[in-house]
Amino acid sequence: MLDQRDILDAMQVAVPRMANRIASFTNKAAAYYCAATHAATHPEYAWFEGLNVAKNRVFGGYDLYLGNQLLDNQLAAATVYPHKLVRQHGPALCEELWLFDDRNLLEIDLDGATQPIGLQLKGVRLLRQQEDIAFFAAREGEFMLAVAPRQPVALRRQGERIIATSTGFFIACGKDEAEATALLHEGQQHSAALKLTRQQRLREYLQTNAYLAASDEPLTLALRWLAITTDQLVTRQQGDGIYAGLPWFNEYWGRDEFIAFSGAVLVTGQFATARRMLESFSKFQQTDPTSKYYGRMPNIVNPSGIDYHTTDGTPRFVLALRDYVQYSGDGELVQQLYPVVQASIEGALQNWGDDKGYLLHEDNETWMDARDANHVAYTPRGSRANDIQALWYQQLQAGAYFAAYVHDAASQAKWTQLAEQVRHHFGQDYRQPTHDYLADRLTQQGNPDFTLRPNQLFALDLVADPAFTRQVLRRTWQELVYPWGVATLAQHDPQFHPYHRAPELYHKDASYHRGTIWPWLNGIAMQRMLEAGQVETAYQLFANANHQALTLGVVGGLSENLDAYPHPGQTWPQLTGAYLQAWSNAEQLRVWYQYFLGIRPDMPNQQLTLAPRLPAAIRQLDYRFALGASSVLAQYLRGTPHVHSYTFQGIATQVLVDIFPFDPITVAVQPGNLLKLTATAQQLTVEVFAESRLLSIASATPSPARLARQAQDDEALAGVAFAQPLPLSSHTIMNAAN
């Protein structure tokens, strides 16, 4: 039975006192609030407790008082909703924390108070008080904080604490007293409307763009929360963009933003936002033709400056533009941004190409970018990392796609030939008969480095050898993919670090890419398993990440990292890094939509591929997805037979139906049509209806060729298992540290 409560109420997560999780909210502009549900004790996150605006920690949380009695959050019952944090202090007192959309304005409610209540902001100094407003200097940044009661009544002061006979307080942050005061007055006059606006935005998002309801309630709850916490990071701090992560990456990273792009805004149909992101970020491209970074997209964009030290951010931008066009059908943006694409490719060829067509880069210019105090890369991957070559190959292909669109035949031919050159050499240079996996990089001397890392999963499309790719997939899964995520280095390597944060042993950056788990890598690992037909194996990892979002760390989201190993006596590793990371969330959502649901549009060519690969645990689904300016309502019922139904609202397209083990079938649908797919073990039936009238019917029987290929995949991957921790004494790093 699907939950019939209000969708926001149905998403409430009660946090046990011992769990003490982070509740995080943004105002969708340039501010976020970080709250520990019970106590700000985390060794890294406690520093960011409270309101943060445009990379400034404005104040460090607050204490509430009833009379002279401090309300102890550690004794409260905490519940987190998509739009607010609630703490129940005993049977009578209910505290609510709200951060309003588009405003640096908080409301702290305390209903049930029978005495005056007090508020004390942490980490700031009271400057002055007038009758009903108190002003504080912000902890960081040139901001003014102002505090007033919910009702305009007089304040009194007790040290740094302000007291009022009221049901709560507003806290505003402005550039000066006048701006902060105006925000307070808006809160006092329009609190109910501001709350309603925030709730309605979230409800509409969950009931349209991100609508999903499953018979599996944890799946429904996890995917709704992942949609919400991902959307929190879609902000307007410096134009439209995606925060890389919270609490310390509240800025735009070229690499992170465009890895997260599809899962954050495309699969949920936020095409207008996606377009603004591409337009906004394109303005940060390096356009100085004398610079060695000519044509590059930035590594980091934040209020203090721009940095170009990344190679993969640029191809990721071009691929994001390609994906946006395929989802939206917006060819106009191709015309507008084609010069950006040209500069991105020609700048790379001018400054970073070699004689084989590979894209060169420095040791720390891949996503594995950590360096020590002397700026030496902990994980040197120069000068030709395998994932960089895969991205470069795709960038050239996407460039040729755009060149054809704008009728630039010369560039189309040139870039197509270069892409083929890269593919040809890659198959020769990154393989050796003595290894059943790809080299992670070619060194500056051109020698292959066979350190076993997960990056090769991005490069499998460059290898036209199915038997070898099966070997790679088995080897990487069993040595790098743990039940909790994908590690950055195989555990047999002498440089393997079992723990990310072990300050008594080594600096955390030393382990950042040498063992530490990165959940964003789950996306490509699951994708490759699904492409090989191993649905249940991929779904185990997917379900485990959903469980993390619901029960561990920040409520509703995925962390940047985890330790590779649980600590002794524990069954799950500690979450580390940023508590909420955009690409961790977004890759979970991307794989759900594109590979489990199998939704892969190509709107410029008026084609939609539907290739669902759903596990046995999912019995029923209702969901919605966007295509161009319209949407599709979909249902799935698992049984005998399995039935997929798609109702097309306002769009005509060709649909390529790809359900294993049948040969694909292409059918045409018109606005208002119902597409019904009925699959038994022996037959696939594809029907198109206009209302209740059957317009067309097609069928297929199992394909011997597909069955044979799947048998090969199944044999090669039979019994594939997650990596498991070894004894700590097995690891050189731990022995050396001890």
Contact in structure between 418 and 357 (CB atoms under 8 Å): yes
What are the angstrom distances between the C-alpha of 606 and each of 610, 656, 666?
13, 11, 12
Residues in the chain, overall count? 738
Residue 702 DSSP symbol: B
Q: Name the burial class of residue 738, with classes exposed (0-12), middle (13-18) and buried (19+) by CB atoms within 10 angstroms of its CB.
A: exposed
Please report, to the nearest 10 degrees, the dihedral formed by the alpha carbons of residues 173, 174, 178, 184 taken in order.
Answer: -30
State whether the Cα torsion 697-698-701-703 is positive or negative: negative
pLDDT at 123: 97
SS3 291: coil
- What is the residue-wise DSSP string for 437-471? S--SEE-TTS-EE----GGGGGGGGG---HHHHHH
Cα 598 from Cα 613, distance rounded (Å): 7
Contact in structure between 294 and 343 (CB atoms under 8 Å): yes
pLDDT at 528: 98
Residue 593 DSSP symbol: I
Contact in structure between 658 and 598 (CB atoms under 8 Å): yes
**Phi, psi torsion values for 587, nearest 5 degrees:** -70, -35
Q: Which long-range contacts (CB under 8 A, 24 or more apart) does 84-93 make?
A: 84/25, 85/23, 85/25, 85/35, 85/37, 87/37, 93/66
What are the angstrom distances between the C-alpha of 602 and each of 120, 242, 271, 657?
55, 24, 14, 14
Which residues of the chain carry a pLDDT beneath 70?
A: 1-4, 737-738
Q: What is the pLDDT of residues 502-555, one digit of tens each?
A: 999 999 999 999 999 999 999 999 999 999 999 999 999 999 999 999 999 999
* Residue in the structure block whose two tokens are 């001397």: 445
- What is the residue-wise DSSP string for 21-89? -EEEEE-SSSEEEEEESS----TTGGGG-EEEETTEEEE--EEEEETTEE--GGGSEEEE-SS-EEEEE
pLDDT at 732: 94
Cα 146 from Cα 148, distance rounded (Å): 7
